[in-house]
Amino acid sequence: MTIGFEIIARDGAARAGRLITAHGVIETPVFMPIGTAATVKAMTPDGVAATGARLILGNTYHLMLRPGAERVAALGGLHKFMNWPHAILTDSGGFQVMSLAGLRTISEKGVAFRSHIDGSKHVLTPERSIGIQRLLGSDITMAFDECTPFPSERAAVEASMELSMRWAERSRRAFVARDGHGIFGIVQGGVHADLREKSAKTLMAIGFDGYAVGGLAIGEGQATTFAMTEATVPFLPEDRPRYLMGVGKPADLVGAVKRGIDMFDCVLPTRSGRTAQAFTRHGTLNLRNARHADDPAPLDADCRCPACAGFSRAYLHHLVKAGEILAAMLLTTHNLTYYADLMAKMREAIMAGTLAEFEAPP
């Protein structure tokens, strides 16, 4: 059977649940750290798991180019390759291929593009994307779609969404069912509620194991992200997981969970960890700032992470100024722990029926 999803508590539109995959059970709502190139940057797999993460995201586009999906398969699959025993969701490559402006051409068949690494030619179709994700061994496969740029004319958004729906059907057909593995469809439709509804209904008719809301968090603003989430969720099945792609800041996560989203991914905690930014319950800190140079306090005195247990802001500031790798290691550890704990607290609030009072972090 496919991946399982059990809802164990509801609070308004929000749900607390359990996602059951071939590589373990994941409590939802959940944030997925990004493991682009078969590594969550600056982290060991043990370190990622210690933050509480049990589900990470891998990028089909990056992995197909380097080291190559067939190579990963020959080496035992992505879990073994990167020594991550827990669950993996892979994106379809669609979003990243679309970003290769000037290097790609789109047709009904799929997308032809040149590698950003060496200029070599590649083609990504729904069938090839699903095939790659199978070679990688993803627990959760994403349908191949076109992420419509924002802003776009309504007619272009509609045509793009319709193409994504035809690709979704081909993706679903190409997916080979295996125990504990599933495929998610992706709702498109830009900032148009009626197109979002139409897309959601089309996907439901095809039938997926979970449903993602795609094409958001690309410049339309939080209010519109929330509005499109509200325009989509009512048309998705109650008993299947919902994933808001590419989101987001802590306050975005809180707002989206309140609107019924179960899953998230974003580069923010990891990328910020490599650019001296730390998320805390009292706001964001820039460790490059000289005001931290003599501060013996940790990032957050109440945080359970090893960075907060052992190191001062003064030390982290020093590491940042000196360009030391340990700065990225410690700040990424802290940020992923912060994100995992934020999700865990929302889950507790849902189970206690108090999510409405749950305040978005500054």
Residue whose C-alpha is closest to residue 214's, from 133, 127, 340, 98: 98
Give min distance, CB of 106 to its own copies, in A. Answer: 27
Residue type, 171: S
CB-facing half-sphere around the CA of 283: CA atoms within 13 A: 4
Is 329 a residue that touches its own copies (CB under 8 A)? yes
Is 294 noted as a catalytic residue in this protein? no
**Nearest C-alpha neighbor of 81 from the set 138, 42, 119, 124:** 138
Contact 316, 299 (CB under 8 A): yes
Which residues have CB under 8 Å from 61's CB, separation 6+? 91, 93, 96, 97, 124
Among 6, 238, 324, 360, which residue sits at the site for its own copies (rule: CB under 8 A)?
324
The candidate with the shortest Cα–Cα distance to 63, out of 48, 81, 85, is 81
- Residue with smaller CB distance to its own copies, 10 or 271: 271
61 binds its own copies (CB under 8 A): no
* Contact status: 296 vs its own copies (CB under 8 A): yes
Candidates 15-23, 159-167, 227-235, 311-319; binding stretch for its own copies (CB under 8 A): 311-319
Q: What count of Cα atoms within 13 Å lies in the side-chain half-sphere of residue 239?
A: 3
CA atoms of 204 and 185, how far apart (whole Å): 9
Q: Using CA atoms, how far apart are residues 332 and 269, in angstroms rounded to an integer?
A: 7
Pairing between β-strand 111-114 and β-strand 104-106 as defined by DSSP bridges: antiparallel
Does residue 45 touch its own copies according to CB under 8 A? yes
Q: Percent helix, strand and coil across the chain, each rounded to 5? A: 40, 20, 40
Burial class from Cβ neighbours inside 10 Å (0-12, 13-18, 19+) for residue 214 reads buried
Which of 209, 252, 262, 265 is an active site residue? Answer: 265
Tokens of 138: 């993803």
Q: Is 252 a catalytic residue?
A: no
Q: Does 283 bind its own copies (CB under 8 A)?
A: no
* Residue from the set 3, 30, 64, 82 that interacts with its own copies by CB under 8 A: 82
Decide if residue 76 touches its own copies (CB under 8 A).
yes
297 lines the binding site for its own copies (CB under 8 A): no
- Piece in contact with its own copies (CB under 8 A), picked from 107-115, 133-141, 316-324, 346-354: 316-324
Can residue 282 be called a binding residue for its own copies (CB under 8 A)? no
Which among 11, 91, 209, 300 is annotated as catalytic?
A: 91
Give the shortest CB-68-to-its own copies separation in angstroms: 9
Interface residue with its own copies among 74, 156, 176, 251 (CB under 8 A) is 74
| Alpha-carbon gap, residue 186 to 250, rounded angstroms | 23
What track of x and - describes contact with its own copies for positions 234 through 273 (by CB under 8 A)? ----------------------------------------
Task: Point out which span in 75-83, 187-195, 214-222, 245-253 binds its own copies (CB under 8 A).
Answer: 75-83
In whole angstroms, how close is the CB of 83 to its own copies at the nearest point? 4
- Is residue 275 close enough to count as binding its own copies by CB under 8 A? no
- 106 backbone dihedrals φ, ψ, rounded to 5°: -105, 135
* 294: contact with its own copies by CB under 8 A: yes
Near its own copies by CB under 8 A, which window of 67-75, 127-135, 143-151, 239-247? 67-75
Residues recognised as catalytic: 91, 265
Binding site for its own copies (CB under 8 A): 37-39, 41-46, 66-67, 71, 74-76, 81-83, 293-294, 296, 306, 310-312, 314-315, 317-319, 321-322, 324-326, 328-330
